[in-house]
Amino acid sequence: MDNNREDRAFYIKDCALVSISTGQKVYSLAELLENLRDIHAGSIYHHFWSRLLRPSFDHPEFHNDFAAWAYHSIHDQILGERLNLIDPLDFDSLEGLRREIIETIEERMDESEYLPWAKAETPFYFVRSQIVVLDTGRRIQQPRELGEAVKSMSPGSIFYHFIDARRRTPEKVDDFQCWLKPMGEYEDLIRALSNIDPYFNTLTELKEELVFLFEGYFKNRGKHG
């Protein structure tokens, strides 16, 4: 998304997440906790968000890799459910999210002498992501074009503009809001965009919600002049 004096067009980008092994794996909650304290922040991001771009992602029971591992490999239902309730969008930074994960695990470990050292059936592999961004060559010149443009966006484009933008933009919001805000006449639409939480939805569902919002907004705007 480019926004300067000479060019006010919205540049549609696509992206892919490339997984990078950290070489770190753990077999217990105590080891997980130790590694969480200094693991690269990109690994925290990967284990919460990369699932959306995995081909197999389709409403899994757990929304982040830490929760799934605690439940399926450690066999601790309570911790799995607690970790699953963490919404990364509730935090201003990955460091804030890291602290919440650590505190949640510490709290659960304090409740059991055995749990910290219980050996997992399968290890947890820490992985981090690197984003690869591609320019599709497509541009949006007017906000009214948003509905049709989003209809043809790939999952990678939806991810890049609505999710990854939150760690790229100074305002920590999606690219659509950043593009619309300087125009000074789309406050209601910006507010509606800010109320969408993408974390518990698939990219397909998120895309449908965005199309519904944009088309409905400009249809009603047309009726009222």
Boundary (domain end) residue, out of 80, 102, 128: 128
Q: Are 79 and 105 in contact (CB under 8 A)?
A: yes
Q: Determine the average pLDDT of the residues in 27-48.
A: 96
Tokens 């619309």 locate to: 180
Clarify whether residues 32 and 86 are in a common domain: yes
Boundary (domain end) residue, out of 128, 157, 187: 128
Asked whether the predicted pLDDT for residue 224 surpasses 80, the reply is no
Asked whether the predicted pLDDT for residue 172 surpasses 50, the reply is yes
Boundary (domain end) residue, out of 76, 95, 128: 128
Q: Of 101, 131, 130, nearest to 29 (Cα)?
A: 101
Residue 4: inside a domain, yes or no?
Answer: no
Clarify whether residues 115 and 42 are in a common domain: yes
Residue 3: inside a domain, yes or no?
Answer: no
Residue 8: inside a domain, yes or no?
Answer: no
Mean pLDDT of the chain: 91
pLDDT category of residue 151 using cuts at 50, 70 and 90: very high
pLDDT for 53 equals 87
Residue 62: inside a domain, yes or no?
Answer: yes
Clarify whether residues 59 and 104 are in a common domain: yes
Asked whether the predicted pLDDT for residue 1 surpasses 80, the reply is no
Clarify whether residues 46 and 106 are in a common domain: yes
Residue type, 202: T
Clarify whether residues 119 and 187 are in a common domain: no
Q: Are 209 and 203 in contact (CB under 8 A)?
A: no
Task: Give the residue numbers spanning the domain of 96.
Answer: 15-128
Residue 98: inside a domain, yes or no?
Answer: yes
Asked whether the predicted pLDDT for residue 3 surpasses 80, the reply is no
Q: Determine the average pLDDT of the residues in 34-63.
A: 85
CA distance 177 to 171: 9
Q: Determine the average pLDDT of the residues in 12-40.
A: 95
Clarify whether residues 171 and 192 are in a common domain: yes
Per-residue pLDDT reduced to its tens digit, 49-95: 998 887 665 446 889 999 999 999 999 999 999 999 999 999 989 99
pLDDT for 56 equals 60
Residue 1: inside a domain, yes or no?
Answer: no
pLDDT for 46 equals 95
Clarify whether residues 103 and 145 are in a common domain: no
Q: Are 12 and 149 in contact (CB under 8 A)?
A: yes
Clarify whether residues 33 and 114 are in a common domain: yes
Q: How many domains does the chain have?
A: 2
pTM: 0.86
Clarify whether residues 123 and 146 are in a common domain: no
pLDDT category of residue 47 using cuts at 50, 70 and 90: very high
Per-residue pLDDT reduced to its tens digit, 92-113: 899 999 999 999 999 999 999 8
Q: Are 63 and 199 in contact (CB under 8 A)?
A: yes
Clarify whether residues 37 and 91 are in a common domain: yes
Per-residue pLDDT reduced to its tens digit, 191-208: 999 999 888 888 999 999
Phi first, then psi, for residue 29 (nearest 5°) are: -65, -35
Q: Determine the average pLDDT of the residues in 171-186.
A: 94
CA distance 165 to 159: 8
Residue 134: inside a domain, yes or no?
Answer: no
